[in-house]
Amino acid sequence: MPAANVDLPTVPPPANALAAVVHPNPYPYYQSLAARRPFDFDATLGLWVAAGPQALAAVLRDPACGVRPVGATIPAALANGAAGDWFGALIRMNDGPAHAAMKPWFTGRLATLQADGATLDRLRDASQAACADAYLAQGDTPAARLDDFVFRQPIYALAAWLGVPSSQWVDVYDEVRTLVAAMAEAAKPSPRAEALARGHGAATTLRQRAMHWLDNDAAPGTWLHDTARSAAHDDAIDYAVLTANVAGLFTQAHDACAGLVANSLRRLARHASPGAVPVDTGRQALPANLAVAITAVGEVIRHDPPVQNTRRFLHAPAVIGERTLARGDAILVVLAAAPAGAAPNDVAWTFGHSAHACPGRSPASTIAAVGVQSMLDNNADLGAIATGAAYHPLSNVRIARFHDDASAV
Ligand code: HEM
C-alpha cells in the first residue's frame, strides 16, 4: 500500500481522484479507492476511474485504449499551427504504427545515457547554473527561487546530458515552459489566443534548435551527435518526427522531473536527513549529499509519485475488468493509487506501463537526484522553506509548491 507521506493533522479526504493530486495526503483515499472501487465509472467526473493494480494493468495493456481521443490526436485549440504539428508527431501522443515506428528506437537511444562520474559532474554544473539563473529570475525570495529551480534544473541538466551547448540552456528552458503552458491552455474550455500563439512560436524555435543540434551544433561524443548518426543510418527514421521527439524529451521532463525534485526536497525537509552515509557502489563511494538525494528520490518515486494519473480513450468497445466500455469513453488511470510493490517488473507505477511506459525513467531519476544534491550542497534551509502542504494546481502531476504567492512560478 502506498505509505501516507505526511504527518499532517487529519484533513477531509479529496472529493475525487483528480482533486487528490493536490491534496496534502491523498494516500489513504487512494488506498480505499483501489480496494472498494478498483474500476468504476465516476459520474461526477464523467470518467471511468481505474485504481486497483489489475485494472491499471488491464487498461494500460488493452489495445482498444488509446492515448488520445478517437480522431483527435491533436487538441483542436492547437490545430493549424506549429505546436499542433509538433504535438501530433510525439510518440507520447500516438498509438499504432506511428508509435511503433519510433518508440523502440527512442528507448534504445535513451538507454545509452550512462550516469558515469563525468556525467554526474556535468549534471552538477548544469544544476548550479540553474540555481544561479533561478536567483536572477526570482531574486531574493528563497521559496520563489526554489519553485523556479525545481522546474529549471531538470531542463538544464537534460540539455547538458544530451549535449546542448550551455549558452542555449536558459532559452531552451523558456521555450519548453511556454510550450508546456500552451498544451495546458489548449485543454481549457476557453483557451487564451496569446498563450496558444506563444506556444506555436516556442514549438517552431525548439524544433529548429533540435535540427541544428542534430545537424552540427552538438559536439562529437554527445548523445545528440550520436543520435543524429544513428538516425542517418536508419531509413525508418523520419527526420521531422525525430526533431519533434527530441524537443518532446524536454516537455516530458518538465513537470514530471520537477515533481521528483520538489517532492524529494519536501520529504527531506519533513523527515530530517537520517545522517549522510556515503553509499558504496562497488566502484567508489558517492558524495554524502548525493547518497541522501538518491534515497529521497527513490522514496518519492514509490510513495509520493509525481505522475499521479494518466488517461486513456476507448477507440473501440471493450470489456475491461468485467465492465463494458463504449467507443469514445475516457478512463482516468490513477497510477498513484496502486500499491508501490505491486507493479509488473517492480517498476514504480508512476513511470507508466506497457506500450507507453516512460523511456526516461533512469535518466530522470539521476537528474532529480543531482538536483536535490545541489540544494543540499548549497545548504538550502529546507526546514524553513519546504515543509508546507501546497501543490501546483495540476490535475495529473503532483509538484510540491514552496512559495505561497499565487503569481509565483
Ligand atoms: C528526463 C526526463 C524524462 C524523459 C526524457 C521522459 C520521456 C518520456 C517519453 C518520451 C514518454 C512517451 C513514451 C510513450 O508514449 O511511449 C514518456 C512517458 C511517460 N513518462 Fe516520462 N520522461 C521523463 C521523466 C519522467 C518522470 C520523472 C516520470 C514520473 C515520475 C515520468 C512518467 C511517465 C509516464 C507515466 C509516461 C507514460 C504516460 C502514459 O502512459 O500515458 N517521466 N516519458
Q: What's the CA gap between 255 and 86, in Å, rounded?
A: 18
Locate 208 and state its grid cell.
529548429
Apex CA 151: angle with CA 150 and CA 152, to 5°? 95
Confidence of residue 4 (pLDDT cuts 50, 70, 90): very low
pLDDT at position 408, please? 44
CA 253 – ligand 1 centroid, Å: 7
Residue 13 maps to a domain: no
Query: Which residues 6+ apart lie within 8 Å of 131 measured at CB?
Result: 145, 149, 153, 374, 375, 378
Total domains in the fold of the chain: 1
Residues 102-119 have a mean pLDDT of: 96
Q: Output the CA 60–ligand 1 centroid distance in Å.
A: 14
* Degrees, nearest 5: CA angle 289-294-299: 125
Q: Is residue 37 part of a domain?
A: no
Quick one: pLDDT band at residue 286, thresholds 50, 70, 90?
Answer: confident
Q: 503532483: which residue's cell? A: 398
Residue 220 structural domain: 67-307+352-389
The residue whose C-alpha atom lies closest to atom 6 belonging to ligand 1 is 360
Model confidence at 99, in pLDDT bands (50, 70, 90)?
very high
CB under 8 Å to 273, separation ≥6 — which residues? 292, 376
Flag whether pLDDT at 135 surpasses 70: yes
Residue 179 within any structural domain of the chain: yes
The closest residue, in CA terms, to atom 16 on ligand 1 is 356
Ligand 1: which of 105, 242, 252, 255 to mutate, most ligand atoms within 8 Å of CB?
Answer: 252
Q: Grade residue 87 by pLDDT with cuts at 50, 70 and 90.
A: very high
The chain-wide mean pLDDT, for the chain, equals 92
Confidence of residue 342 (pLDDT cuts 50, 70, 90): low
Q: How many alpha carbons fall within 13 Å on the CB side of residue 180?
A: 21
- In angstroms, the Cα distances linking 87 to 8, 99, 107, 146 are 40, 13, 19, 29
Q: Is residue 322 part of a domain?
A: no
The answer, yes or no, to whether residue 1 has pLDDT greater than 90, is: no
Q: What is the pLDDT of residue 274?
A: 47
> Does residue 15 lie in a domain region?
no
Ligand 1: list residues with CB < 6 Å: 67, 91-92, 103, 158, 248-249, 252-253, 256-257, 260, 305-307, 310, 350-352, 356, 358-360, 363-364, 367
CATH code (residue 273) = 1.10.630.10
Q: What is the pLDDT of residue 10?
A: 75
pLDDT of 206 strictly over 50: yes
| DSSP letters spanning 172-222 | HHHHHHHHHHHHHHHTSSS--HHHHHHHHHHHHHHHHHHHHIIIIISPTTS
Q: What is the DSSP string of 279-295?
A: -B-SSSBPPHHHHHHHH
Output the pLDDT for position 271: 83
Residue 193 in this model has a pLDDT that exceeds 80: yes
pLDDT for position 339: 77
Neighbours of 22 (CB within 10 A): 20
Q: pLDDT band for position 265 (50/70/90)?
A: very high
Mean pLDDT of 358-370: 97
Specify the pLDDT at position 217.
73
| Sheet of strand 330-333: strand arrangement | 39-42, 47-50, 330-333, 310-314, 65-66
Note the pLDDT tens digit of each residue in 152-184.
999 999 999 999 999 999 999 999 999 999 999
Which atom, in ligand 1's list, is nearest to the CA of 248?
10
The residue whose C-alpha atom lies closest to atom 8 belonging to ligand 1 is: 358
What was the pLDDT predicted at 277? 47
Question: What percentage of the chain exceeds 90 in pLDDT?
Answer: 87
Helix or strand holding residue 41 (H, E): strand 39-42
Count of alpha carbons within 13 angstroms of residue 60, beta-carbon side: 25
In a domain, 105, yes or no: yes
b/e 78-88 (16+ beta carbons within 10 angstroms → b): beebbbbbbbb
17 in helix, strand or coil?
coil
Distance from Cα 109 to the centre of ligand 1, integer Å:
14
pLDDT given at position 409: 44
331 CA to centre of own chain: 20
Q: Which residue from 307, 358, 366 has its CB within 8 A of the most atoms of ligand 1, so it is best to mutate? A: 358
CA 257 to ligand 1 centroid distance, Å = 10
What is the reported pLDDT for 405?
57
Which helix (H) or strand (E) is 331 found in, with range?
strand 330-333
CA–centroid distance, 351 to ligand 1, in Å, is 6
Atom 43 (ligand 1) nearest CA: 358
Examine residue 60 and state whether it is found in any structural domain, yes or no. Answer: no
How confident is the model over 31-41, as pLDDT tens digits?
999 999 999 99
CB 336 within 8 A of CB 30: yes
Over residues 367-395, mean pLDDT: 96
Residue 68: per-residue pLDDT:
98
Residue 343 confidence class, pLDDT cut points 50, 70, 90: low
Residues 64-88: what's their mean pLDDT? 97
99-112 average pLDDT score: 96
Determine, yes or no, domain membership for 91.
yes
Q: How do strand 400-401 and strand 318-320 relate by DSSP bridges?
A: unpaired
